[in-house]
Amino acid sequence: MKQTILVTGASSGFGLMVATQLCKQGHTVIGTSRNPEKHQLPFKMLALDIADDNSVKDFGKELFKHISQIDLLINNAGYYLSGLAEETTIEQGRQQFETNFWGTIKLTNVLLPYFRKQRFGKIITVGSIMGLLNVPDASYYGASKHALEGYFKSLRFELNEFNIKVAMVEPMGFKTNLLHSSVTAETKINDYDSYRNKVSAFANDLFTNAPEPTPVINTIMKLVENKNPKFSHPVGKGASVFLAIQLFAYKAFESSVIKKINNYKSN
Ligand SMILES: NC(=O)c1ccc[n+]([C@@H]2O[C@H](COP(=O)([O-])OP(=O)(O)OC[C@H]3O[C@@H](n4cnc5c(N)ncnc54)[C@H](OP(=O)(O)O)[C@@H]3O)[C@@H](O)[C@H]2O)c1
């Protein structure tokens, strides 16, 4: 069945690939970007900055000039704030939450009245494996994604009442523009020099060797068709093993991360 689908962050990475594929399949797709004029795409692009209250409000008014009903919201927009916790300013952390957490929720709130009125709908949110476990150098990013997990788990119960389905996709590292668009900690504390170098080398390795995003796109495409999806969908090589280890043997998980990081030389 052809659906009307909103994909946030459709200018790049996962969002662009999913929106393009959905469009090819004949669905009506609305994508968003902070700069829609920069992107010539086969689907309609609207302006949206999820971190900006006015932009979210304006978007809410604009969206329904282009569509009359909505089947699916794919909450995908987000960015990556990296850096050691103490070297990251609280303001940087707040901004990370303004986009990844509050922005996602504000936009979801714009659509909920429509979904409730229709008595159907689906919300797929792109979280991260770092919303289910965490590693160093990503305290605020991981926290923002953990927060989404908690929020949507609760919302899923409440929307069941209205036949509105809620699911999360939790990718491991995949090749997109996430690293290029990332923000890093603003301050440097000398005590961390050696550790920071090792952690950066570890993180750079992960990103440099990250696979192509096909498994994430395939997971989202299957979820689009799934009438009654389960909540959580971790994606990536070894994701379920990592999750099982950190759930049932946290000390072993922690030791293996510490060992991996210590194997990198600090320069
Ligand atoms: N790549 C990975 O390894 C990975 C792993 C786990 C989770 N994720 C998550 O996957 C999602 C997509 O990321 P990606 O990897 O595809 O990265 P990407 O290529 O950098 O794409 C990010 C998208 O988010 C949009 N965006 C960023 N800030 C925004 C804001 N304030 N308001 C509206 N849109 C905003 C960008 O659009 P404009 O710049 O055009 O506005 C862009 O389209 C993110 O939520 C990310 O946390 C990625």
Q: Specify whether the CB–CB gap between 109 and 151 falls below 8 A.
A: no
| 81-113 residue pLDDT tens | 999 999 999 999 999 999 999 999 999 999 999
Q: Is the dihedral of CA 59, 33, 77, 3 positive or negative?
A: positive
Q: Is the confidence at residue 265, as pLDDT, over 90? A: no
Answer whether 125 contacts ligand 1 (Cβ < 6 A).
no
Q: What percent of the chain has pLDDT over 90?
A: 95
Assessment of whether the complete model's pTM goes beyond 0.85 = yes
Residue with tokens 């194997």, as numbered in its chain: 263
Q: Which of 79, 114, 141, 250 is flagged as catalytic?
A: 141
Atom of ligand 1 at shortest range from CA of 129: 6
Active site residue 141: yes
Q: Is the confidence at residue 267, as pLDDT, over 80? A: no
Q: How far apart are CA 185 and CA 187, in angstroms?
A: 6
| 71-80 residue pLDDT tens | 999 999 999 9
User: Domain 4-192+212-238 adopts which CATH fold?
Assistant: Rossmann fold (3.40.50)
Compute how many other C-beta atoms are within 10 angstroms of the C-beta atom of residue 57.
12
Average pLDDT over residues 237-244: 94
- Euclidean distance between the first and the last CA atom of the chain, given in angstroms as a whole number: 56
| 162-215 residue pLDDT tens | 999 999 999 999 999 999 999 999 999 999 999 999 999 998 888 889 999 999
